Chains A and B, each alone.
Chain A
Amino acid sequence: MQRAEEARSLPGVRMKIGLFIPCYIDAFYPNAGIATLELLEKLGQDVEYPMNQTCCGQPMANSGCNKDAAPAEALFVKNFAKYDAIVMPSGSCTHHVRDNFDAIEQTDEVRHVRENTFELVEFLHDVLKVQDFPWAEFPHKVGLHNSCGTLRALRTASMSELGEPFFSKPMDLLNKVKGISFATPKRPDECCGFGGTFSVTEEAVSAKMGTDKVRDHHQAGAEYIVSADTSCMMHQQGCAERAGVPIRFIHIAEILNGARE
């Protein structure tokens, strides 16, 4: 079995990848899933989407009902244990698998899955070390939304609270796309208020945060909000549409895969 760990030092290697597509991408944003798959294929990877997949267990675990996450976690391991790497276009799901996936017994198999699960951006940036996306061109001004999962749990970008030197893996990747430019919102790493079930149990605060977020990007001149997390964007899109903020949404995989608009 080719371990993703080992492959990190071997750019260009072909890995057997299990693709996980979270439920809301499956149901509402299939294009983000398709772009992820096509992009990994273009980059020469051997990608499979296990048909029996459901969920990573995050909604149950985040609600405190960790025991109820066990069936989903067990199935996840069953579906993905055979792959070198498990890749998903979702920061929060990756965070769950990597950091909180403990409703089931921690066997070697479970540990393998947890250690080799990657969010798409970090997989492209850190494991495949992709240097360029010759097919990609996106002549638009975009506002980059880093979800809290990618930012503060997966650490794919520097966090404003720590005063650390600037870095941004998603921006590194997007900078390799022709024609793209970035808007600078006033509160770049403020949470957008999705927060899973928070979006319904605390709907007023959630919607206010989302509306403030899309306004901030719009006022900074963004035509699009681009993110590695579709759940945040599903929420923000709902807020933008209700508030009449003219801004569009696109998953980072779609831009990197060559979407023009």
Chain B
Amino acid sequence: MKVKPVNHAKAAEAFIEDTAHMDFHDERLWDLRQKRDQQMHILPEWQELRARASAIKEHTLANLPEYLEQFEANAKKNGIHVHWAADGAEHNRIVGEILEKHGAKSLIKSKSMVTEECCMREYLEPRGVVVTETDLGERIQQLDDQMPSHIVVPAVHKLIPDVAKIFAKHYHTDPNDDDAQSLAWQQRLAARPVILSADAGMTGGNFVVAETGSFVVCTNEGNADLSATVPGLHIATIGIERLVPRMADMGVFIRMLSRSALGSPITQYTTHFRGPQKGSEMHVVLVDNGRSHRLGMEEFWTSLKCIRCGACMNTCPVYRRSGGLSYGAVYSGPIGAIIDPTFNERKYSTLPFASTMNGSCTNVCPVKINIHDQLYKWRRVLAEHHELPFVKREVMYMAGKLMGQPSLYRAAINSTEVALSTMPRFVLYNWLNPWGKHRELPHPVKQTFHSWYKQNRLKTKKKEGEGA
């Protein structure tokens, strides 16, 4: 059976019906956008930083094989074991083998979108490895058996009572605890012993520096540093697009990453891993999982510039009102809508349409990905690949034909003229009904512009012509 496309519209409708959650979600993310704006205004060089970040990333992607080889050589020199995974399955197998070799049964990890992509937890857990997320938001999502709903703030769609209930169930704490501080403390208390007894630690990597063979991890809670430094084994899973050529390039990115994401100048922790700690082992797994294929997509390869700041999600009025889970994908929001179809065109065919193409995402992107243009281009590609719903294709086909024939078009308009009680049916056909669900229809008018013009201009002009 064919995969069913994600029904974003339906999930979004359910999200909106829960007013308390919806309003908080919108306000919270809008607040992040406002804070991001404040940071931008502090730096007169903001647009220059964006231009440089974009140029550095584009250069790196165009030279990616060389930079990956350079990174690998330097990392090996530093004592890092480097692995290459063509897809999620290979990544999981590699991680599984490393853990097995060390007899590791417990893995603590910090947030990593790539491991979400690879469905790593689902692979390791049946093989007897207990995987514990240490980022607070990610842990909440893990306990609630949900995907992260946002790439930076994974549980942003939840309110305090939701967290209290989840913690009560798993940590046996007060289900009516209404204090975020106290709930965060519960997480700290629950996490410490797990961290201290873990056999292995895992992180992602925000940036990989070819020149030094190092990778950089940016977090706020310190959980990545704990995951990497407490156990004697550190595995970092990193997408192959995360390269930058030189350490000196990092200034451009670090200055914009957290400012774009949360409106804070920098993440509390910016950690540079260049080799194993004394007496420890360090592994880096470089994951392709479709990226090398995407690099060949002329209209979409620049989406690989993404540094996962989430600014496009925070500014997106559709994302803010539909929630990340409504996208039914690892990557949600505007960036998700242009990346997800590269993983599965049919399943994610609806996502490029979950946008008004207002363009705010493109403007906030620190690496200048033309997100809304790519949404537009994806729509074309999906139509050409026959991934649009039948009704939509038919309506557009009929409308397109009609628009080329003025007399038929005029007849269609005139048949609804005067007693216009619906949208012009030739435009919207039978998708009309949804318009009126939460909105009034436009009011009928006595006369179309066309008819008015005929009466008030053509006739006068004719008369003037006759008089002359």
Interface residues of A (CB under 8 A from B): 21, 23-30, 33-34, 37, 49, 51-55, 57, 59-60, 62-72, 74-75, 100, 148, 151-153, 159-163, 187, 189-191, 193-212, 234-235, 237-239, 241-242
Contacts and interface: CB of A to CB of B under 8 A. Distances in A.
Contacts of B9: 201-205
B411 to A, nearest CB: 12
Given A28-B420, A68-B400, A208 B438 contact: yes
Contact of A62 (B364, B376, B417): B376
Contact of A205 (B46, B47, B321, B439): B321
Nearest to B439: A238
Contacts of A25: 449
A184 to B, nearest CB: 15
Interface in B424-459: 424, 427-428, 431-432, 434-443, 445, 447-450, 452-454, 457-458
Contact of A54 (B409, B417, B447): B409
Q: Which of B356, B427, B434 has the most CB of A within 10 A?
A: B356
Main secondary structure of the interface of B (DSSP, over half): helix
Q: Which of A199, A205, A208 has the most CB of B within 10 A?
A: A205
B442 A163 contact: no
B130 interface: no
Given A54-B402, A63-B388, A152-B363, 18 more contacts: A21-B449, A27-B448, A28-B443, A30-B452, A51-B454, A60-B403, A64-B388, A70-B400, A148-B357, A162-B47, A189-B360, A193-B317, A198-B353, A198-B356, A205-B16, A205-B321, A208-B16, A238-B436
Given A193-B356, A208-B321, A211-B438, A49 B453 contact: yes
Contacts of A69: 400, 403
Contacts of A207: 437-439
Contacts of B318: 193, 202, 205, 209
Contacts of A239: 438-439
Interface in B267-320: 315, 317-318
B440 A241 contact: yes
A23 B413 contact: yes
A127 B353 CA distance: 35
B125 to A, nearest CB: 35
A62 B420 contact: no
B122 interface: no
B358 A23 contact: no
A65 B380 CA distance: 6
Contacts of B434: 200-201, 203
Contact of A202 (B12, B401, B424, B447): B12
B180 interface: no
B181 interface: no
Contacts of A33: 449, 452-453
B384 to A, nearest CB: 8
A163 B437 contact: no
B383 interface: yes
Given A64-B388, A201-B9, A237 B440 contact: yes
Given A28-B443, A65-B383, A100-B376, A75 B406 contact: yes
B435 A200 contact: yes
B184 interface: no
Contacts of B397: 65, 68
B54 to A, nearest CB: 14
A238 B440 contact: yes
A54 B404 contact: yes
Contacts of A197: 353, 392, 428, 431
Given A62-B376, A201-B353, A209-B321, A34 B440 contact: no
The interface centre, meaning the residue of A23, A51, A66 with most chain B CB atoms within 10 A of its CB, is: A23
A195 B364 CA distance: 20
5 contacts: A28-B445, A54-B404, A59-B396, A199-B435, A205-B322
A202 B8 contact: yes
B157 to A, nearest CB: 15
A251 B140 CA distance: 48
B438 A187 contact: no
Contacts of B378: 64
B401 A71 contact: yes
B368 to A, nearest CB: 11
A59 B358 contact: no
A71 B405 contact: yes
Contact of B355 (A24, A159, A198, A211): A198
A120 B384 CA distance: 34
B438 A191 contact: no
Interface in B1-49: 8-9, 12-13, 16, 22, 26, 30, 37, 40-41, 46-47
Contact of B438 (A28, A30, A203): A203
A57 B420 contact: no
B162 to A, nearest CB: 21
B134 to A, nearest CB: 33
A49 B406 contact: no
A63 B351 CA distance: 12
Contacts of B30: 187
Contacts of B354: 202, 205
A205 B443 CA distance: 22
Interface centre among B379, B450, B457 (most CB of A within 10 A): B450
Interface centre among B9, B383, B396 (most CB of A within 10 A): B396
Q: Which of B47, B359, B432, B439 has the most CB of A within 10 A?
A: B439
A34 to B, nearest CB: 6
Which 5 residue pairs spanning A and B have beta carbons closest together?
A71-B404, A68-B400, A195-B356, A64-B379, A207-B438
